[in-house]
Structure 1
Amino acid sequence: MTVWLEHLSDVSRSHTDHVIVTLVNVRGSAPQEVGAKMLVTIDGLRYGTVGGGKIEGFCIKHAMEMLQSKSPPFMGTYNLQTEIGMTCGGEVSVFFDTQYFSTWSVAIFGAGHVAQELCRVMQTWSCQLQVFDNRKEWVDKLPDSFNIKKVHTENMASHVDGLPDGTYLMSLTQGHAADVPVLEKALQQHQRFSFLGVIGSKMKGEKIKGELRNLGVSEDALQRLHCPIGLDFGDNTPPEIAISIAAQILSYKSKLSDKLTGTLWSQVKKDKTNADGRINFECPYENGQYRLTFEIENYFKKQNLNPFFLAVPVAFNIMDVSRKYHVPLLLSPYGYSTYRGS
């Protein structure tokens, strides 16, 4: 049992999706007793047994398919002779208990004082964290953790293209000269990222945005850039700056996350409706699911009305990018005020 718990602890701490396969009932002859269990990951059997041979191979294959399709827990009853192909004529019931970890990607460029503290906070999160710096001594100082990948590189910007879609990207380098190449590369493909931020003052932010404009970065992309990064609390010490950044990331992630399905959304664009109540999105769409959120609390407040509607999300599918889509919204709380947008 001690070895079993060690393996279970390993996959849990490393946030590895897995299935606990347990023999819960036996009728007639079977190669194992009730309670036999094994641990299966997407790579196959990790530890344990439910009887070996054909029954075990069948259960491992089924568990791996469940992980591949993100299936919920399941219990099946099988005749060992007719369904599994074994000579013994018993019947077994097997419970497949799936365990999934909702991992998400974070990239930090720069491994200085704030990044060191931020990694100590984020190493406890269910994220996969990559940290890049051209100073080996600072990379080596980063905490050792299963979810932190330390990358010593002379060209940090060259790693932006390889980041997963939906990554939360932060530039915490030693100065804006090192920030700009990373941010230029990231903002050229800003739709791929859930968050883009850079450490520094408002003055530094304006200077960086000016340089990025001169490099051809669009205004839509620059609107995505958070500078200064972090929520406005605490003092100017690295630990408290790190906490403020961590709080902002979690706050932003919460707004993009669907609490019911666990889906994590990446922000494509944020804009204001025109005088006709419309927004014209000029974005490089791809087929897939989208969510349009109308944030309308301030609309009613400006009319000195107590806002009944705060925000209205509308989720929809784009199946053909060559077509045009119109998503209308008409709200009339209590019959005395109307919000119209599309």
Structure 2
Amino acid sequence: MRDLAPHVLEWQAAGAPCAIASVVAVRGSAPLRPGAAMCVHADGTALGSVSGGCVEAAVYELAREVLASGEPRFVSFGPSGDVFAVGLTCGGEIDVFVQAVEDDTARVLAAAHLAAAARRPVVLVRVIPEPGGRAGGAVAVWENGHLGSTGSPGLDLAVLADARLMLGQDTTTVRTYDNGVRAEPRMLFEAWAPQPRLLVFGADAHAAAVSGIGAFLGYHVTVCDARATFTTPERFPHADEVVVDWPHRYLAGTRTDDRAVVCVMTHDAKFDVPVLAEALGRPLAYVGALGSRRTQARRVRELAEAGVSPEALARLHAPMGLDLGASTPQETAVSFAAELVAARSGRGGRSLSLLDGPIRPTGHGVVVRGRPAGTGPAPARAGAGLPSV
């Protein structure tokens, strides 16, 4: 939904009706995770995906029906034994919520989009109405404020408290609230964390290729080098930031978290040893460095002499990348990206054809029962789903 928000808002501003179909839960193996979405314009244009192809046509038709009727839909798709029936060929099951975008929802979505664009954690909450009901309310929640309403003051208090517990996560969850009546309201929570950072140190062709594939994977990309001649926005069109500074000095003054990635592309001791010593002292998701095995052996000696512990050195991916036989900058970037994805998911990076077991992580997304509406702050609870980029 996050990636489609600009398109939905553009259509809404032009007065064009549109509908959003969102994956709210996954059971078993499925192509996409909770939060995946498709938006459908009144003229038939469709953007995004909910299943990677298996049930796209059926969801598209549902969105068209919702646009015509104004009535939201909540549907499940699972494996089908009938070759002509609509179902997931991967054997999993997904729940999809489809709603037309009304003015109030668009205003809330715009607030969430602006917060995310400013790299602020935000949670978008949408009411899932009962079958045959009209579209419910929506709320955007950020650290010091919120916009919108569920339509019930008591429920708003409970939803706001739960949403604030999810700030900084990157998950999608459905929560059900006990309000003492038969039809218990359900809420779709989408927590949008700021994009994880990819810090690329070095300003050469390999750095340009790595910054491009990092942007493709959804990272907020910064390229930094002390050489102003080579460190220009024109040379790094995919980077969000291009910084002229000594790498270690820039990193020392930069906030990072445990999702951030550092790639050192200089293979020059006066640049890479100080910045790697700084990086390996931080709880980063991945630290990699380009260079030959001879360069790496020299680098390890110098990092040890600089006081970097053996435990910290063991975190260094160098030479970085998987063994793909890469030689060009573009191939090297693919090798790095493959290792990064494998490291992030805890996989070994081997050929799928040589392995047994599930291809994708399973069990994304859960349905959580909330506390009664209006009963005060909720206790902390683990978020559903897996971190995404």
TM-score (norm 2): 0.49
The CA distance in 1 between the partners of 2:179 and 2:204, in whole Å, is 57
Could you list the runs of 4 or more consecutive aligned residues of structure 1 that deviate by over 6 angstroms after TM superposition? none
What is residue 245 of structure 1 aligned with on the other side?
A: 336
CA apart distance, 1:174: 6.4
Task: Look up the SS of the partner of 1:143 in the other structure.
Answer: coil
Distance 1:202 1:41, change over 3 A: same
Distance 1:218 1:99, change over 3 A: same
Amino acid of the structure 1 residue aligned with 2:241:
K
Which structure ranks higher in relative contact order (CA pairs < 8 Å, sequence separation ≥ 6)? 2
CA apart distance, 1:123: 1.6
What is residue 296 of structure 1 aligned with on the other side?
A: none
Deviations 1:149-197 (A, max 9, x none): 415142321343432135332211363321111012223x26x233222
The CA distance in 2 between the partners of 1:6 and 1:113, in whole Å, is 42
CA apart distance, 1:249: 0.9
Amino acid of the structure 1 residue aligned with 2:175:
F
Deviations 1:210-254 (A, max 9, x none): 222332333333333222111122442111111111111111111
Task: Look up the SS of the partner of 1:165 in the other structure.
Answer: coil
1:65 to 161, 165, 171: 161
Asked whether the 8 Å contact 2:248–2:274 carries over to 1, the reply is yes
What is residue 200 of structure 2 aligned with on the other side?
A: 108
1:185 to 268, 278, 282: 278
Distance 1:41 1:116, change over 3 A: farther
The CA distance in 2 between the partners of 1:122 and 1:234, in whole Å, is 20
The CA distance in 1 between the partners of 2:306 and 2:128, in whole Å, is 62
What is residue 39 of structure 2 aligned with on the other side?
A: none
- Are 2:271 and 1:175 aligned? no
Amino acid of the structure 1 residue aligned with 2:274:
P
Asked whether the 8 Å contact 2:140–2:146 carries over to 1, the reply is yes
Amino acid of the structure 2 residue aligned with 1:110:
G
The CA distance in 2 between the partners of 1:117 and 1:78, in whole Å, is 53
What is residue 189 of structure 2 aligned with on the other side?
A: 98
What is residue 196 of structure 1 aligned with on the other side?
A: 287
Task: Look up the SS of the partner of 1:230 in the other structure.
Answer: coil
Deviations 1:83-131 (A, max 9, x none): xxxxxxxx99643211135754433222432222222222233444443
Distance 1:45 1:222, change over 3 A: closer
Instruction: Give the paired residue count.
Output: 236
Amino acid of the structure 2 residue aligned with 1:175:
D
What is residue 232 of structure 1 aligned with on the other side?
A: 323
Task: Look up the SS of the partner of 2:216 in the other structure.
Answer: coil
The CA distance in 2 between the partners of 1:259 and 1:125, in whole Å, is 18
* Higher deviation after alignment, 241-250 or 61-70: 61-70
Amino acid of the structure 2 residue aligned with 1:201:
S
CA apart distance, 1:260: 6.6
TM-score (norm 1): 0.55
What is residue 273 of structure 1 aligned with on the other side?
A: none
1:152 to 230, 243, 247: 243
User: CA RMSD for the aligned pairs?
Assistant: 4.0
Task: Look up the SS of the partner of 1:100 in the other structure.
Answer: strand
CA apart distance, 1:78: 5.3
CA apart distance, 1:39: 4.1
The CA distance in 1 between the partners of 2:363 and 2:128, in whole Å, is 30
The CA distance in 2 between the partners of 1:243 and 1:154, in whole Å, is 27
What is residue 345 of structure 2 aligned with on the other side?
A: 254
Distance 1:34 1:261, change over 3 A: closer
Amino acid of the structure 1 residue aligned with 2:275:
V
Distance 1:22 1:213, change over 3 A: closer
Gaps of 5+ in 2: 1-7, 13-100, 167-171, 349-359, 365-389
The CA distance in 2 between the partners of 1:111 and 1:39, in whole Å, is 43
